[in-house]
Structure 1
Amino acid sequence: MNISGNTIFIPGATSGIGLALAQRLAARGNTVIVGGRRTALLEQIATENPGIDTVQIDTTDADSIRAAAETVVTRHPSLNVVITMAGIMRTEDWTAPAGFLETAEATVTTNLLGPIRLIAAFIEHLRTVPDATIMTVSSGLAFAPLRVTPTYNATKAAIHMLSESVRLQLAGTSVSVLELEPPAVRTSLMPGQESSDFAMPLEAFIDEVVELIETQPDATEIQVENVRFLRYGEARGDYAQVVETLNRRDPHAR
């Protein structure tokens, strides 16, 4: 993926990593469209960030995704990058007699079905442009589990394998698949995460992500240094120690 000259749609970019990345990519010479559910928040983003377009979308709703895709492609026929940013992270207790199933189902709908539906909605268009990218967003927890978020971990592991598989199918086409693998970052993804000493400062994370995109345009995975502890535990042979350390150090590790 080139760092500039793109037209980029980022659903789920009304706060946190998504919004920070949208702002930085816009500043680097890209046309950026931010997607989200709340109209008032989208209007605020458009006002505060001249040049960034906004489109209403609920990534848990298949009809909303289809409608948003039609709107984005009509307004921006040069669209060549889709970043499937939307996601939720909620704790679950599978030892309790009830209560975790609703959370687990919502997590699967948002974190797994959402990206699948987004890719399906845009893939035909992306294959018509010369240099296109689908950027998925997994997590360090795709590779080492946080005890309190089992379904989140599972959906991010699924996103990793989905990215690997779709990349194989799209080999030889104009569409590349790039996977962003965040560590814990200081956002409001979970309560207390914005002030967590374990989490990476948001601006530092975005700085490193943009640098990696710029210096490694042919990369298939964007891995900041902080995520490598989780990403490569199994390859290093210290997976058990990684899991133990992760679950001892911080309950909000992304």
Structure 2
Amino acid sequence: MDITGNTVFIPGATSGIGLALALRLQQEGNTVVIGGRRTALLDQITAEHPGLHAVEIDTTDVASIQRAAAQVIAEHPDLDVLVTMAGIMRVEDWTTPGGFLTSAEETVTTNLLGPIRLIAAFVEHLRSRPAATIMTVSSGLAFAPLAVTPSYNATKAAVHMLSESLRLQLAGTGVAVVELEPPSVRTALLPGQEDSEFAMPLADFVEEVVELIRTQPDATEIQVENVEFLRYGEARGDYDHVVATLNHLDPHGH
């Protein structure tokens, strides 16, 4: 993916990583369209950031995805980058009967079915472009589990393997598949995460991502340094240590 000269659609970009990345990509000379559910918030963001475009979309709703895709393609026929950013993270207690099921189902709908449906809505158009990119968004937790967020971990692991598989299928079509793998970042994804000393400052994360795209335009995975501890635990042979550290466990799992 080139760092400049693209037309980019980022659903799930009204806050957090999505909005920060949208603004940085706009600064780099890209036309950027953000997507979100609340029109008032979209209007506020576009008023504050001239040149940024917006489309209403609910990535949990099939009809909304289809309407938004038709609108984005009609208004921006040179669209060549889709970033499947929208996601939720929920703490779940699977030891409480029935107390986790609704949360788990909503997480799967947003984090896994959402990207699948978005890609399905845009892939034909992207294949018609001379060069295009689908950027999926997984997580360091795709590679090492945080005990309190099992459905989130599972959906992000699925996004990783979906990315690997689509890259194989789309090889030779002109559509690159790039997987963004964030570590914990200071956003409102979980309560208290914005102030977490463990989490990476949002501005630092986005700057490193942009620099990686600039210097490694053919990369298939975008990995800031902070995520490598989680990403490569199994390859290094210290997976158990990674999981224990992530979950503050002693070597006996306590």
Q: The TM-score by the shorter chain falls in which range?
A: over 0.9
Correspondence for 2:91: 91
Counterpart-to-counterpart distance in 1, 2:66 and 2:238: 43
Residue type of the alignment partner of 1:12: G
Q: Does residue 190 of the first structure (1) align with residue 158 of the second (2)? A: no
SS at match of 2:135: strand
Residue type of the alignment partner of 1:151: S
Correspondence for 1:116: 116
Correspondence for 1:218: 218
1:190-214 CA-to-partner distances (Å, cap 9, x unmatched) read 0000000000000000010000000
Counterpart-to-counterpart distance in 1, 2:97 and 2:43: 43
Residue type of the alignment partner of 1:167: R
Residue type of the alignment partner of 2:191: P
Counterpart-to-counterpart distance in 2, 1:97 and 1:204: 40
Counterpart-to-counterpart distance in 1, 2:35 and 2:103: 23
Counterpart-to-counterpart distance in 2, 1:44 and 1:16: 15
Correspondence for 1:139: 139
Correspondence for 1:252: none
Correspondence for 2:102: 102
Correspondence for 1:151: 151
Unaligned runs of 5+ in 2: 250-254
SS at match of 2:248: helix
Q: What are the within-5 Å matches in structure 2 for residues 2-17 of structure 1?
A: 2-17=2-17
Correspondence for 2:252: none
1:66-90 CA-to-partner distances (Å, cap 9, x unmatched) read 0000000000000000000000000
Residue type of the alignment partner of 2:79: L
Correspondence for 2:130: 130
Q: How far apart are residue 238 of structure 1 and its match?
A: 0.2
Correspondence for 2:239: 239
Correspondence for 2:71: 71
SS at match of 2:247: helix
Unaligned runs of 5+ in 1: 250-254
Q: Percent identity?
A: 75
Counterpart-to-counterpart distance in 2, 1:160 and 1:8: 21
Q: Does residue 26 of the first structure (1) align with residue 14 of the second (2)? A: no
Q: How far apart are residue 98 of structure 1 and its match?
A: 1.9
Runs of 4+ in 1 over 6 A off after TM superposition: none
Counterpart-to-counterpart distance in 1, 2:216 and 2:36: 29
Counterpart-to-counterpart distance in 2, 1:96 and 1:46: 43
SS at match of 1:8: strand
Correspondence for 2:171: 171
Counterpart-to-counterpart distance in 2, 1:162 and 1:98: 29
SS at match of 1:22: helix
SS at match of 2:169: helix
Normalising by structure 2, report the TM-score: 0.98
Q: How far apart are residue 99 of structure 1 and its match?
A: 1.1
Counterpart-to-counterpart distance in 2, 1:143 and 1:98: 27
Counterpart-to-counterpart distance in 2, 1:143 and 1:90: 18
Counterpart-to-counterpart distance in 2, 1:156 and 1:98: 23
Correspondence for 2:51: 51
Counterpart-to-counterpart distance in 1, 2:233 and 2:226: 13
Counterpart-to-counterpart distance in 1, 2:97 and 2:131: 50
Q: How far apart are residue 134 of structure 1 and its match?
A: 0.1
Residue type of the alignment partner of 2:49: N
SS at match of 1:229: helix
Superposition RMSD on alpha carbons, in Å? 0.6
Residue type of the alignment partner of 2:127: R
SS at match of 1:135: strand
Residue type of the alignment partner of 1:116: I
Normalising by structure 1, report the TM-score: 0.98
